[in-house]
Amino acid sequence: MELQKFIENFAAQFDETDASEFAAGTEFKTLSEWTSLMALSVIAMVDDEYEVAVKGNDIKTATTIEDLFEIVKSRM
């Protein structure tokens, strides 16, 4: 699993946010498009793409996309 592919998969969940907004250090909860429904989309994406279960608390504790990546990676 590589970080860049994770960022691309993460960014694909967003319809209105430009792809250039997404990087390892992006604080995703500050994005204007971020909502609780977006969190559910990210959780579903992680389950589909990586077969890893993340919970709402994992989303709460992660600040950046890379933080979430590390959580997913640690469960593989």
Residue 54 has pLDDT above 90, yes or no: yes
- The domain spans of the chain are 3-14+22-74
CATH homologous superfamily, domain 3-14+22-74: ACP-like (1.10.1200.10)
pLDDT in tens, 18-40: 999 999 999 999 999 999 999 99
Task: Provide mean pLDDT across the span 5-29.
Answer: 97
Q: How many helices (H) and strands (E) does the chain have?
A: 4, 0
Q: Is the pTM of this model over 0.85?
A: yes
pLDDT score at 7: 98
Report yes or no: 9 and 49 within 8 Å, Cβ to Cβ.
yes
The pLDDT of residue 70 is above 90 = yes
Q: Is the pLDDT of residue 1 over 90?
A: no
- Say whether 74 sits in a helix, a strand or coil: helix
**Local structure of residue 25 (DSSP, 8 states):** T
